[in-house]
């Protein structure tokens, strides 16, 4: 079953690599995953592809301590509802964080990770996860080190 997952992963590559959804030009709503029609405007809606900036806030989260076989090496881990700055929410794993430091309202940014391996010989699915925004110090020669979100 080495071909397992190929079609479903390939179809979603653009969306899950770059968090590409869509935005309705009529009402200004953002959607992820992308919708075929805007549920607000129906036929009046004008949907355009939109790549999310990948910055957001933890809206709610849970710690996973019992995981399926594929995720055992990562246990325990955090799954959160992330509210993107554009206003839509998505579910994602939070990485690069100690579980005790996760909190609602925490600023996070999208990162690129391995999502699933379809067995030893199968394909590897990649996509977004989120991590706490990182400190960017810039350069020591500058008088005031900048604190920006990458």
Partner 1 sequence: MVGIVGFGVYVPRYRIKTSDIAELWGEDGEKIGPGLGVFEKSVPGPDEDVATISVEAARNAIKMAKIDPLDIGAVYVGSESHPYAVKPTGTIVAEAVGCSYNMTCADFEFACKAGTAAMQAAMGLVASKMIKIGLAIGSDTAQGRPGDALEYSAAAGGAAYLIGQKNPLATIEETVSFTTDTPDFWRREGEDFPSHGARFTGEPAYFRHVGEGAKLLFAKTKTTVDDYDYFVFHMPNGKFPVAVGKQIGVPKEKLEDSLVVRQIGNTYSGSAMIGLARILDIAKPGSKIFMVAYGSGAGSDAFSITVEDAILESRGMVPTVDDYIQRKTYVNYATYAKYRRKIKALG
Of the candidates 3, 98, 100, 103, which one interacts with partner 1 according to CB under 8 A?
A: 98
Helix (H, G, I), strand (E, B) or coil at 2: coil
Contact between 51 and 39 (Cβ < 8 Å): no
- How far, in whole angstroms, is CA 69 from its chain's centroid? 22
Binding Zn ion (rule: CB under 5 A), the pick from 15, 16, 38, 80 is 38
Nearest distance, CB of residue 36 and Zn ion, angstroms? 12
Q: Which of 20, 26, 57, 133 binds Zn ion (CB under 5 A)?
A: 26
Residues in the chain: 150
Q: How far is the CB of 35 from partner 1 (least distance, A)?
A: 21
Instruction: Find all residues with CB under 8 Å of 128, minimum gap 6, and list them.
Output: 16, 17, 19, 54, 92, 110, 111, 112, 113
Cα–Cα distance for residue pair 52/35, rounded to 1 Å: 14
What region does 28 belong to: left with phi over 0, alpha with psi -120 to 50, or beta?
A: left
Of 12, 18, 63, 79, the one binding partner 1 by CB under 8 A:
18
Report how many residues bind Zn ion under the rule CB under 5 A.
Answer: 7
Segment contacting Zn ion by CB under 5 A, of 43-51, 54-62, 126-134, 135-143: 43-51
- Interface residue with partner 1, options 73, 85, 103, 143 (CB under 8 A): 73
Q: Interface with partner 1 includes 136 (CB under 8 A)?
A: yes
> H-helix or E-strand containing 11?
helix 6-18
Report the residue number, 29 or 93, with the smaller CB distance to Zn ion. Answer: 29
The one among 30, 41, 45, 51 contacting partner 1 by CB under 8 A: 51
Which pair of tokens denotes residue 23?
A: 């935005």
Q: Which residues bind Zn ion (CB under 5 A)?
A: 24, 26-27, 38, 40-41, 45
């Amino acid at each position: 079953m080495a071909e397992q997952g190929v079609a479903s992963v390939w179809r979603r590559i653009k969306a899950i690599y770059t968090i590409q959804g869509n935005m309705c030009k009529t009402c200004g709503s953002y959607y992820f995953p992308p919708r075929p029609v805007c549920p607000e405007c129906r036929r009046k809606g004008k949907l355009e592809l939109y790549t999310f900036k990948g910055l957001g806030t933890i809206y709610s989260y849970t710690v996973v301590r019992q995981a399926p076989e594929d995720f055992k090496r990562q246990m325990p881990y955090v799954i959160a509802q992330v509210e993107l700055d554009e206003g839509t929410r998505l579910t994602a794993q939070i990485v690069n964080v100690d579980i005790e430091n996760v909190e609602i309202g925490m600023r996070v940014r999208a990162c690129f990770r391995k999502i699933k391996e379809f067995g030893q010989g199968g394909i590897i699915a990649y996509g977004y996860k989120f991590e706490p925004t990182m400190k960017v110090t810039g350069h020591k020669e500058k008088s005031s080190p900048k604190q920006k979100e990458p």
